[in-house]
């Protein structure tokens, strides 16, 4: 039985697609019999963990497999044309033209020595024949459409001058430049904050409606799937295990793996306890599977699952690859597992480990032959907060608001322009590098882009062990090696993977490696810059469970930079909302998220795509549609910086920046007209 019913006039047809990766040591099957179709104007969402074959499927459709890869079998047709039978010259006309692709990691997909405008312009010249002023105007229009502020000026910038989220927007603009029939979007909103995510999803929906564009959406965000998908396919270990319409899938996910994805979603209701994440990781796809590929992680597995691979079963309009729907045998009892979660109150201390007072980071803008300073980008403009052992402070806000810069300035990876950073009561700002060693032993950072922060010439075991050796952690090389193995296992990887290089892992797996490296030296403070942005929901749940456990065992303090408000609601104790370099609202997470006082906080919360109800309930979406872009930090608006986007702004908002108002509970807001009485 086919995994997915054929559309009568399918734009894309994929039948029995098999991909093989061969090396002298082994032969992998990352895609093993995948079968689906996409109609014009339809969005097919592909869900699953990192390493299950989603991105490899997308690369196979465009014949962009790595050198060791080949399509072993199958058929791929676009508008009736056999893509696997085209010459390479014919495929070059398809890629970027008929098929646009947004890759998972924009930092490695953009040319670092070309301006973003020229890179988009290449697509316009190649596939639409635009030149001169018409091409430049279209470049600016595309950048503005995906939420790049001051698009005309930013078109002349290079990729390194953009934040991670903004680089992703540039990639989306480039993919749309060729006016494709089919858009393959590999985690297109992963690095984006919630308001830009809403704009991008609305943009893609509008383009589909206007031009009948089909879309293959690869994502781990169930809220995005509920918002955008028409059909859903759940992928595990190289195979589709469940397919169906969006409404049916959210009403009643069938496969045990699908249900685990829902159970792994963080929320305020699960605060203080572990998330129900599937244990272990996706199996290595280098051998035969006599039974179900999910059997080792399935709480409902029975004996037949070990020995016989399940076929497809139909439940209404849904299809599922699982023996449970064949009406045979009795489920194997689920083993009882105890979570090591102690009360947190005993770990909480009042003396801050890190305290930040009026931190400022301004970047000079230079122009002309003499490179004179003509302005200042006020990336961070007077931020104050403290980190207490055993607590988590979440720093949220849109891309470009200064969150990452705050994290780097704490470690003085970026030199602060002004302000103070106290570590154990001592001001670290302005001290020589040798005096910062002790602080950097205790304060570690997980960077936003895992690929750029991992040495491509080192094996991942050596990457993790390097920090331990240089800081004197571990009694011996053997002890450090055992710790590396244990960390990899706790990150949902396998100890044997320590001998691989970073390029041999998926984006989500590389993020886990970066986190393991930071945890290896037993820090007291962890600055996490979007640590879950590249992770699927099940691995995200494993990571959040691990972070809570480590915090309760060791009293770790976390500064958690993120745009995922679901994670904030589950993990954080306090939250600081940042806008154009300043904190506009600060307080306990249950106060700020349940009763937001600042209009900007309301906008962020309204823009989050939500899956309402528990697993199995129908997905209901509430989306904000912010029409005004984030202003440039080079020229922030006078008065309250948020007033151009605020529906409640008055004359005083346009003239005077509001002083913070603080309630007796510590809930602070910088607004002339807060939406809640403090």
Q: In what order do the strands lie in the sheet with 372-388?
A: 372-388, 352-367, 418-423, 426-427
Residue 393 counted as domain residue: yes
Which pLDDT does position 677 carry in this prediction?
A: 55
* 652 in any annotated domain: yes
- Which residue has tokens 């993120």? 562
Cβ atoms of 491 and 516 closer than 8 Å: yes
Length of the chain, in residues: 678
In a shared domain, residues 91 and 206: yes
Tell me the residue range of the domain where 109 lies.
10-263
Question: 431 burial class (0-12, 13-18, 19+ CB within 10 angstroms)?
Answer: middle
CB 499 within 8 A of CB 448: no
The residue out of 263, 286, 315 marking a domain boundary is: 263
Q: What is the pLDDT at residue 336?
A: 34
562 within domain boundaries: yes
Instruction: Let me know: does 398 contact 365? Beta carbons within 8 Å.
Output: no
Note whether residue 480 is domain-resident: yes
Is 513 in contact with 454 (CB distance < 8 Å)? yes
469-474's contacts with Cβ under 8 Å and 24+ in sequence apart are 471/441, 471/521, 473/520, 473/521, 473/522
Measured CA to CA, the distance from residue 74 to residue 1 in angstroms comes to 16
Q: Which residues, given as ranges, of the chain have pLDDT below 70?
A: 1-8, 164-165, 191-192, 327-350, 507-508, 534, 612-630, 676-678
C-alpha angle 86-61-500 in degrees, rounded to nearest 5: 120
Cα dihedral across residues 646, 652, 656, 657: positive or negative:
negative
- Give the number of domains in the chain: 2
**376 in any annotated domain:** yes
pLDDT at 184: 93
Residue 337 lies in a domain: no
Task: Please report whether residue 342 resides in a domain.
Answer: no
User: Does any domain span residue 293?
Assistant: no
Residue 199 and residue 90 in one domain: yes
Predicted TM-score of the model (pTM): 0.74
Look at residue 629 in the predicted model and tell me its pLDDT.
Answer: 61
Q: What's the CATH code of the domain at 389? A: 3.40.50.300
Task: Please tell me whether residues 259 and 356 are part of one structural domain.
Answer: no
506 and 609, same structural domain?
yes
Same domain? 250 vs 358: no
Indicate if 18 and 164 belong to the same structural domain.
Answer: yes
Q: 110-146, pLDDT tens digit by residue?
A: 999 999 999 999 999 999 999 999 999 999 999 988 8
Domain boundary among 239, 263, 287: 263
Taking the C-alpha atoms of residue 510 and residue 516, their distance in angstroms, rounded to an integer, is 10
End residue of a domain, out of 263, 279, 308: 263
Query: How high is the pLDDT of residue 321?
Result: 94
Per-residue pLDDT, 459: 95
Q: What is the pLDDT of residue 678?
A: 55
């Amino acid at each position: 039985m086919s995994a997915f019913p054929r559309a009568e006039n399918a734009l894309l047809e994929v039948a029995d697609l098999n991909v093989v990766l061969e090396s002298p040591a082994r032969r992998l099957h990352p895609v093993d019999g995948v079968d689906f179709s996409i109609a014009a104007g339809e969005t097919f969402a592909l869900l699953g963990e990192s390493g299950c074959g989603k991105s490899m499927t997308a690369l196979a459709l465009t014949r962009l497999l790595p050198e060791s890869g080949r399509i072993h079998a199958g058929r791929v047709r676009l508008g009736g044309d056999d893509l696997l039978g085209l010459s390479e010259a014919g495929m070059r006309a398809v890629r970027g033209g008929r098929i646009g692709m947004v890759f998972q990691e924009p930092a490695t997909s953009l040319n670092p020595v070309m301006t973003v405008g020229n890179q988009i312009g290449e697509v316009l010249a190649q596939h639409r024949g635009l030149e001169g002023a018409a091409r430049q105007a279209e470049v600016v229009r595309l950048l503005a459409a995906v939420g790049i502020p001051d698009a005309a000026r930013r078109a002349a910038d290079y990729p390194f001058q953009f934040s991670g989220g903004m680089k992703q927007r540039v990639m989306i603009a480039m993919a749309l430049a060729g006016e494709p029939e089919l858009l393959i979007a590999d985690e297109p909103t992963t690095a984006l904050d919630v308001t830009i995510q809403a704009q991008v999803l609305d943009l893609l929906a509008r383009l589909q409606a206007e031009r009948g564009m089909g879309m293959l959406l690869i994502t781990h965000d169930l809220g995005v799937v509920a918002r955008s998908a028409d059909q859903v396919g759940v992928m595990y270990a190289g195979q589709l295990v469940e397919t169906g319409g969006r409404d049916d899938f959210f009403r009643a996910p069938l496969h045990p793996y699908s249900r685990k994805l829902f159970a792994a979603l963080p929320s305020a209701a699960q605060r203080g306890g572990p998330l129900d994440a599937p244990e272990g990781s996706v199996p290595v796809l280098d051998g035969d599977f006599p039974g179900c590929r999910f059997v080792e992680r399935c709480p409902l597995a029975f004996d037949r699952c070990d020995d016989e691979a399940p076929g497809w079963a139909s439940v209404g309009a849904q299809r599922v690859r699982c023996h449970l729907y064949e009406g045979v045998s009795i489920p194997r009892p689920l083993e009882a597992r105890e979570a090591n979660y102690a009360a947190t109150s005993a770990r909480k201390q009042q003396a801050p480990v890190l305290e930040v007072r009026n931190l400022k980071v301004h970047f000079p803008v230079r122009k002309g032959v003499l490179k004179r300073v003509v302005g200042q980008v006020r990336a961070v403009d007077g931020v104050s907060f403290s980190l207490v052992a055993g607590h988590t402070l979440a720093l949220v806000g849109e891309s470009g608001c200064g969150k990452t810069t705050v994290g780097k300035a704490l470690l003085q990876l970026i030199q602060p322009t002004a302000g103070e950073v106290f570590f154990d009561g001592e001001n670290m700002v302005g001290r020589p590098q040798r005096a910062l060693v002790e602080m950097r032993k205790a304060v570690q950072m997980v960077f936003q882009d895992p690929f750029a922060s991992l040495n491509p010439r080192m094996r991942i075991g050596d990457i993790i062990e390097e920090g331990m050796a240089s800081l004197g952690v571990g009694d011996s090389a053997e002890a450090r090696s055992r710790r590396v193995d244990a960390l990899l296992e706790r990150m949902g990887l396998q100890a044997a993977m320590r001998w691989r290089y970073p390029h041999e892992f998926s984006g989500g797996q590389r993020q886990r490696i970066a986190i393991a490296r930071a945890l290896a030296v037993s820090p007291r403070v962890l600055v996490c810059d979007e640590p879950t942005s590249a992770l699927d929901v099940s691995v995200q749940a494993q990571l959040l469970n691990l972070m809570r456990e480590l915090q309760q065992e060791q009293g770790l303090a976390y500064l958690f930079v993120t745009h995922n408000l679901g994670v904030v609601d589950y993990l954080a104790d306090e939250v600081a909302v940042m806008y154009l370099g300043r904190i506009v609202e600060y307080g306990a997470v249950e106060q700020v998220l349940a009763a937001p006082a600042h209009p900007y906080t309301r906008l962020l919360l309204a823009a989050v795509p939500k899956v309402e109800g528990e697993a199995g309930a129908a997905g209901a979406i509430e989306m904000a549609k912010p029409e005004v872009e984030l202003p440039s930090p080079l020229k922030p608006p006078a008065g309250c910086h948020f007033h151009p986007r605020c529906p409640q702004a008055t004359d005083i908002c346009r003239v005077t920046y509001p002083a913070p108002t603080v309630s007796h509970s510590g809930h602070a807001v910088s607004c002339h007209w807060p939406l809640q009485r403090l």
